[in-house]
């Protein structure tokens, strides 16, 4: 078993253990807990299935904790980026109101030219999967956390293990980032991209 696979399995088991605890604390079934958090009724039941690797977004963890009246444990807070109090999304902006049933998918609008040489331009839309394992050369969504200031930034980069790179004519101060799964964590791998017609 590879290190990434083992890490993913460990992460999934920690999340399942926390889900069992909040279910017990709230006294609700998984379907009721998911509904109270504003999630699909199958989200938690699916996450508890053996062999499934749930990898919820930070906002999903926060919604579940709020619905159950608990706080996310420290290890999950760090893993899912809940600890920082301010989030900047200068490079990409999430498309609000995504109506898909899969909570592991998210759609974003690109707001930077940092991947222009890879064909990703400002205004393009891109979808990321939180469960698709990143491969070398993939475009990924990552969270860069500064635990001293309590801030985090969502960035889009090209993954060349163990680093994240930009591809633009002038990178400025955007040097390579090393993925350590603490201060720099990949939270999504791209699945598709589309370009809005000009004038829309």
Residue 75 binned pLDDT confidence (cut-offs 50, 70, 90): low
Check if the beta carbon of residue 38 is closer than 8 Å to that of residue 63: yes
Residue 86 binned pLDDT confidence (cut-offs 50, 70, 90): very low
Indicate if the pLDDT at residue 6 is higher than 80: no
List the one residue out of 99, 139, 144, 94 whose CA is nearest residue 119: 139
Look up the pTM and report it: 0.55
Q: What burial class does residue 192 get, using C-beta atoms within 10 Å of its C-beta: 0-12 exposed, 13-18 middle, 19+ buried? A: exposed
Check if the beta carbon of residue 15 is closer than 8 Å to that of residue 40: no
Check if the beta carbon of residue 154 is closer than 8 Å to that of residue 87: yes
Within 8 A by CB and 6+ apart from 117, the residues are 167, 168, 169
State mean pLDDT over 42-56: 79
Return residue ranges of the chain for CATH 2.10.109.10.
86-194
Indicate if the pLDDT at residue 114 is higher than 70: yes
Tell me: the pLDDT tens digits for 51-67? Answer: 777 667 777 777 887 78
Portion of the chain with pLDDT greater than 70, in percent = 74
Check if the beta carbon of residue 176 is closer than 8 Å to that of residue 164: yes
- Rounded to the nearest integer, the mean pLDDT of the chain is 78
Indicate if the pLDDT at residue 83 is higher than 50: no
* pLDDT at residue 150, rounded to an integer: 62
Portion of the chain with pLDDT greater than 90, in percent = 23
State mean pLDDT over 135-151: 81
State mean pLDDT over 154-182: 83
Check if the beta carbon of residue 31 is closer than 8 Å to that of residue 44: yes
* pLDDT at residue 153, rounded to an integer: 84
State mean pLDDT over 68-90: 56
Instruction: Determine how β-strand 151-160 pairs with β-strand 86-88.
Output: parallel
* pLDDT at residue 198, rounded to an integer: 61
How does DSSP classify residue 132? Answer: S
Q: Is 18 left (phi over 0), alpha (psi -120 to 50) or beta?
A: alpha
Check if the beta carbon of residue 48 is closer than 8 Å to that of residue 19: yes
What CA–CA distances, in Å, run from 25 to 67, 77, 96, 190? 11, 19, 31, 36
- Say how far apart CA 56 and CA 191 lie, in whole Å: 17
Q: Could you check whether the bond before residue 162 is cis, i.e. omega within 30 degrees of 0? A: yes
Return residue ranges of the chain for CATH 1.10.260.40.
3-79
Q: Which CATH number describes the domain made up of 86-194?
A: 2.10.109.10
Three-class SS state of 154 = strand
Three-class SS state of 111 = coil
* pLDDT at residue 160, rounded to an integer: 94
How does DSSP classify residue 102? Answer: -
* pLDDT at residue 85, rounded to an integer: 41
Arch. (CATH architecture) of 3-79: Orthogonal Bundle (1.10)
């Amino acid at each position: 078993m590879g290190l990434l696979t083992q890490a993913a399995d460990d992460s999934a088991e920690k999340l399942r253990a926390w889900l069992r605890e909040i279910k017990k604390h709230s006294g609700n079934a998984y379907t009721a807990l998911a509904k109270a958090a504003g999630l699909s009724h199958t989200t938690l039941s699916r996450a508890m299935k053996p062999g499934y690797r749930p990898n919820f977004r930070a906002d999903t963890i926060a919604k579940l904790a709020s619905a159950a009246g608990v706080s996310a444990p420290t290890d999950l807070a760090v893993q899912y980026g809940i600890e920082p109090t301010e989030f900047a999304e200068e490079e990409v902006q999430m498309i609000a109101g995504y109506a898909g049933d899969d909570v592991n998918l998210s759609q974003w609008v690109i707001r930077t030219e940092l991947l222009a040489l890879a064909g990703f331009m400002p205004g393009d839309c891109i979808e990321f999967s939180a469960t698709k394992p990143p491969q070398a050369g993939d475009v990924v969504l990552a969270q860069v956390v500064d635990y001293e200031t309590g801030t985090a930034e969502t960035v889009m980069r090209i993954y060349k293990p163990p680093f994240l790179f930009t591809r633009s004519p002038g990178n400025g101060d955007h040097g390579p980032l090393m993925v350590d799964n603490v201060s720099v964590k990949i939270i999504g791998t791209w699945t598709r991209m589309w370009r809005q017609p000009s004038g829309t």
